[in-house]
Amino acid sequence: MPSEEIVKPRLAGRFPALADRIVLQRPRRFVVETPAGQFDEIARFAFGDLGFIYLCTITGLDEGDNLSFLYHLAHPDGTVLTIKRSVPKAAPTVASIGPLFPGGQIYERELVDMLGARVEGLPPGHRYPLPDGWPDGQYPLRKDWKPEMLDNPTANTAGGTHNG
Amino acid sequence: MAKVTVPIGPQHPALKEPESFSITLSGEQIIETNMRLGYNHRGIEKACEARTYIQDMYLVERVCGICSHSHSTCFITAVEEIAGLAVPPRAQYIRTLIAELERVHSHLLWLGVAGHEIGFDTLLMYSWRDREVVMDALAALTGNRVNYGINTIGGVRRDFTREQLDSLLKVVDVLEERTKYYIEVATEEPTLINRLSGVGTLPHDDAVRLGAVGPTGRASNVNRDVRRDDPYLAYADLQFDVIVDTHNDVYGRTLVRVGELMQTYRLIRQIVKQIPDGPVTVKAPRRIPAGEAVSRYEAPRGEDVHYVKANGTDKPERVKIRAPTLANLQSVSRMLENNNLADVPITLAAIDPCFSCTDRMIAVADPASGRRETLSWEALRQHGIRWYAGRGVDFAALNRKLGRKLGRNA
């Protein structure tokens, strides 16, 4: 049976709290918003039980008080399931998706650099994609960031070392 | 033996683009590869937020110098989905046509680069000469060799006449004949087979685990192609086979790409034959209603992913782009394990990382008179033929043959 038909009943069957949160945007495109604390379990279920074995990429969004991360998972039959999680901007910590998708670490490094996410469990490695001398505390994809802030970095940084 | 770490890049003759590799060796053998990327980061996603959708379409077309149409199409497909636009079928066919012509030019370019990296420069010269046939066809159709500017939100900017479409059949005949020759080279030429076999091995399970896409994945038996699995544009109407291979190495990646060229010719013939009549655009609003969409596209290098979030204004709230090379670079460390240092260039080239190719004319300065003149492409080509002929290398017979097939004077 194509995954498009099983995603909603199986996800809602396993996680009743999701029943109203699964949206079919168009054929082969699902979005589900995960409640706090359930992301890891839902992602494992989508990977292991529903067969979404590919991670296309992770999109980071600055939504005011929160940062949201959209994990776009793909099934070999062409269905895409986007699992959305939100964390407070003041404490934007998430666990790495690496144990399920080792290829996803580069996307997580991008979230660290561009949006200031903190990803627990990322192995040591180079940052991506910003240069080594990039000032701390400047996250270009946050909505309040302007290129002019680079001209006067000290005024906008909280100090400390880069967390990636 | 003591381990040695060799830095390669970010600026290095073996690399076509800036990337930095730190390669730990035991003797000649690679133990570990450490990658530093981001030298080409231009802030395009952020820039998209400050520009209108139509400006963004032109901006994302410049993400890549080769698969330019891939990015612009992937982007506007998402925008059109959010806006609820029904793009006319003829426009979808035209986009598909340009997409497949782009695949031909990209794969032939790759074949030349691969030949060059293993010291088989004859293959580079041959395949790039033949690639000019498709570059000319693209230029004749769109006005440009790359960055075709064919798309607009809601359709395409140019319609093609029946004569223009039919002329492509001759182009495809020539390219198909040449591609058959390359398939013969790839399957029978012992130097090529021996040089590429067992190099840059990526086992199937690792390809899946690390998310390899496109020909890189398909050469490790990952049967995955967005055109078939998640059809977009006109692909649902068209017949083609997804080429997979089980060699898991650079040789397999070569076979997949030459095999895909044959499928691409099949697609182009179908498009020319069955393209529907009708309009090529629908009117698109300047402001795109709030919403979001994930768009996928099988670029020549593999799955391209765009995410667009609209907020009801004429500028997007967020544009996220994941080009296929970023997905494939995750596999490179695995490919290089236990290979020799000398295999680094071809292994890297085998995932086909992007670089730009846009020159089409040359300015000639005469130091004696100080006069400058611009040489047209055709004049430069004739100059090249005469220059080689004067040194005893004569391609005249082959050029005449190609010219006859294309219906022009060589």
A70-93 burial, b at 16+ Cβ within 10 Å, e below that, comes to bbbbbbeebbbbbbbbbbebeebe
What is the model's pLDDT at position B354? 63
For residue B122, give how far its alpha carbon lies from the nearest alpha carbon of chain A (Å). 36
What number of other Cβ atoms are within 10 A of residue B87's Cβ?
A: 22
> Per the CB < 8 Å rule, is B305 touching A25?
no
Mutate to test the interface with A, among B75, B230, B306, B329 (most CBs of A within 10 A): B230
Q: Is the dihedral of CA B212, B213, B214, B219 positive or negative?
A: positive
Q: Are residues B252 and B246 in contact, defined by beta-carbon separation less than 8 angstroms? A: yes
- Strands, DSSP E only, in B144-276? 151-152, 155-156
> Per the CB < 8 Å rule, is B307 touching A25?
no
- Distance CA(A10)–CA(A19), nearest Å, equals 10
Among the partner residues B303, B307, B327, nearest to A59 by beta-carbon distance: B307
What is the model's pLDDT at position B339? 93
> Per the CB < 8 Å rule, is B331 touching A125?
no
Among the partner residues A26, A72, A129, nearest to B305 by beta-carbon distance: A72
For residue B153, give how far its alpha carbon lies from the nearest alpha carbon of chain A (Å). 19
- For residue B361, the 8-state DSSP code is -
Digit-coded pLDDT (tens) for B333-386: 899 999 999 999 899 888 887 633 223 445 566 667 767 677 777 787 788 888
- Distance CA(B63)–CA(B222), nearest Å, equals 26
Domain over A4-155 is classified CATH 3.40.50.300:
no
Q: Are residues A17 and A35 in contact, defined by beta-carbon separation less than 8 angstroms? A: yes
- Distance CA(B60)–CA(B281), nearest Å, equals 20
For residue B351, give how far its alpha carbon lies from the nearest alpha carbon of chain A (Å). 15
- Distance CA(A92)–CA(B26), nearest Å, equals 41
Q: Are residues B88 and B110 in contact, defined by beta-carbon separation less than 8 angstroms? A: no
What is the model's pLDDT at position B358? 29
Residues of chain A in contact with residue B41, where contact means CB-CB under 8 angstroms, are 129-130
- B15, two tokens: 């690399």
More confident residue, A163 or B297: B297
Digit-coded pLDDT (tens) for B251-274: 999 999 999 999 999 999 999 999
The residue-averaged pLDDT of B99-128 equals 96
Q: Are residues B19 and B9 in contact, defined by beta-carbon separation less than 8 angstroms? A: yes
Digit-coded pLDDT (tens) for B5-27: 999 888 888 777 888 889 999 98
Q: Are residues B337 and A110 in contact, defined by beta-carbon separation less than 8 angstroms? A: no
Digit-coded pLDDT (tens) for B145-191: 989 999 999 999 999 999 999 999 999 999 999 999 999 999 999 99
Tell me, what amino acid is at A76? P
Interface check A85 vs B, CB under 8 A: no
Residues 7-46 of B with CB under 8 A from A: 34-38, 41, 43, 45-46
Among the partner residues B212, B226, B326, nearest to A106 by beta-carbon distance: B326
Among the partner residues B37, B43, B309, nearest to A128 by beta-carbon distance: B37
Q: Which residues contact B55 (CB under 8 A, 6 or more apart)?
A: none
> Per the CB < 8 Å rule, is A61 touching B318?
yes
- For residue B96, the 8-state DSSP code is H
For residue B275, give how far its alpha carbon lies from the nearest alpha carbon of chain A (Å). 24
Residues 191-250 of B with CB under 8 A from A: 208-212, 223-224, 226, 228-231
Q: What is the ipTM of this complex?
A: 0.92
Lowest-confidence region among A60-74, B180-194, B239-253, B385-399: B385-399
Task: Name the β-bridge partners of A32.
Answer: A22, A83
- Distance CA(A33)–CA(A21), nearest Å, equals 6
Task: Name the β-bridge partners of B158.
Answer: none
The residue-averaged pLDDT of A72-101 equals 96
For residue A159, give how far its alpha carbon lies from the nearest alpha carbon of chain B (Å). 23
Q: Are residues B131 and B404 in contact, defined by beta-carbon separation less than 8 angstroms? A: no
- B332, two tokens: 């490179």
Domain boundaries, chain B: 44-354, 371-409
Among the partner residues A31, A78, A130, nearest to B38 by beta-carbon distance: A130
Q: Are residues B77 and B60 in contact, defined by beta-carbon separation less than 8 angstroms? A: no
What average pLDDT does chain B have? 91
What number of other Cβ atoms are within 10 A of residue B365's Cβ?
A: 9
- Distance CA(B212)–CA(A54), nearest Å, equals 9
> What string of DSSP letters covers B255-274?
HHHHHHHHHHHHHHHHHHHH
Coil/strand/helix, residue A47 = helix
| Beta-sheet pairing, A66-74 with A54-63 | antiparallel
Residue of chain A with shortest Cα separation from B330: A103
| Angle, helices B89-117/B68-83, rounded to nearest 10 degrees | 150
Please determine, for residue A53, whether its predicted confidence score (pLDDT) is greater than 70: yes
Q: Which of A126-130, B236-240, B405-409 has the highest mean pLDDT?
A: B236-240
Residue of chain A with shortest Cα separation from B309: A61
Interface check A106 vs B, CB under 8 A: yes
Residues of chain B in contact with residue A140, where contact means CB-CB under 8 angstroms, are 43, 46
CATH H-level superfamily of B44-354: Cytochrome-c3 Hydrogenase, chain B (1.10.645.10)
Tell me the backbone φ, ψ of residue B112, rounded to 5 degrees. Answer: -65, -45
Interface check A69 vs B, CB under 8 A: no
What is the model's pLDDT at position B360? 41
Residues of chain B in contact with residue A57, where contact means CB-CB under 8 angstroms, are 305, 307, 320, 322, 326-327
Q: Are residues B173 and B118 in contact, defined by beta-carbon separation less than 8 angstroms? A: no
Q: Kindly list the distances between the CA atom of residue B42 and the CA atoms of B12, B35, B39, B243, B306, in Å, as whole numbers in the listed order.
A: 20, 19, 9, 34, 17
- What percent of chain A lies above the pLDDT cut of 90? 78
A30-57 burial, b at 16+ Cβ within 10 Å, e below that, comes to bbbbbeeeebeebbebbbeebbbbbbbb
